[in-house]
Amino acid sequence: MGDPGRRVLLKHLSKVIQDHHIDLVVGNGENAAGGFGITPDIAEELFDLGLSAITLGNHAWDKREALEYLQKEHRVIRPANYPDGVPGKGTCIVETVHGERLGILQLMGRVFMPMVDCPFRVAERELAELATHTNQILVDMHAETTSEKMAMGYFLDGKVSAVVGTHTHVQTVDEQILPQGTGYLTDVGMTGPVQSVIGMKPNLVIQKFLTQLPRRFEVATGPAVLSAAVLDLNHTTGKTTQITRLRVFE
């Protein structure tokens, strides 16, 4: 979330990678540019900080310069269930330093969200292709409601390594391994300003609720937090053996 999120990554991500023996980092970057969208320069900054892949979401198109960038940078993906013909792709495959392949799929929910194709049916279609390349697959379920995220978790249980939710910016306390071995967390939480309303200055959000008038939100300032989920995967089965929530404060 904006500059505070990038700042806390700069301060703490390298130590998190070292302390937890991380092989590969995936981050949701749809709010990285001032809270709305992403730019090519900021995406490259995030890669330099240690990310191997970046997912987006409903703010994927907020910065016009991202449209062309998504066409050529395969490590930045948007929800796969956007209609055919939009820029970019909804999946990618990245490798760890040890040569292990991780497939990444992003889906977007439809409840209280933009109208897109069915994420469940699109998941089946995309996973059929990803599974021919690797059995280690991470799904970013970008959705508003807990029920839709949990339904996706159980729908894909045993078919992917993990389903981790994004979009609501508040880390949930329900990390678990589902019955067939898929790791699950409803929302990984926000990497951004602590004293905020999901990353934005509280007074501006309060005024919007009080008046219902249009209000331009701004990213909050002050101390930030790095929110994450650490996944341990079995390289043979592709299943999650451990999932740990993580919050690192400035």
| pLDDT above 90 for 62 | yes
Average predicted confidence (pLDDT) for the chain: 97
pLDDT in tens, 20-57: 999 999 999 999 999 999 999 999 999 999 999 999 99
Instruction: Tell me the pTM.
Output: 0.96
Q: Average the pLDDT over 48-70 and give the result.
A: 95
Q: Sign of dihedral through CA atoms 245, 163, 94, 8?
A: negative
| pLDDT above 90 for 119 | yes
pLDDT in tens, 195-208: 999 999 999 999 99
183 class by beta-carbon count within 10 Å (0-12 exposed, 13-18 middle, 19+ buried): buried
Q: Average the pLDDT over 99-112 and give the result.
A: 97
- The encoded tokens of residue 87 equal 């820029």
- Report yes or no: 185 and 174 within 8 Å, Cβ to Cβ: yes
Q: Which helix (H) or strand (E) holds 202?
A: helix 202-211
Q: How far, in Å, CA of 67 to CA of 59, rounded?
A: 12
| pLDDT above 90 for 130 | yes
Q: Which helix (H) or strand (E) holds 94?
A: strand 91-95
| pLDDT above 90 for 245 | yes
59 noted as active-site residue: yes
Report which DSSP code applies to 219. Answer: B
Q: How far, in Å, CA of 12 to CA of 144, rounded?
A: 28
59, 142, 167, 169: the catalytic one is 59
Best CATH choice for the domain 2-249 from the list 3.20.20.140, 3.60.21.10, 3.30.1330.10, 3.40.50.720:
3.60.21.10
| pLDDT above 90 for 155 | yes
Share of the chain above pLDDT 70, in %: 100
Q: Which helix (H) or strand (E) holds 62?
A: none
Per-residue pLDDT band for 97 (boundaries 50, 70, 90) equals: confident
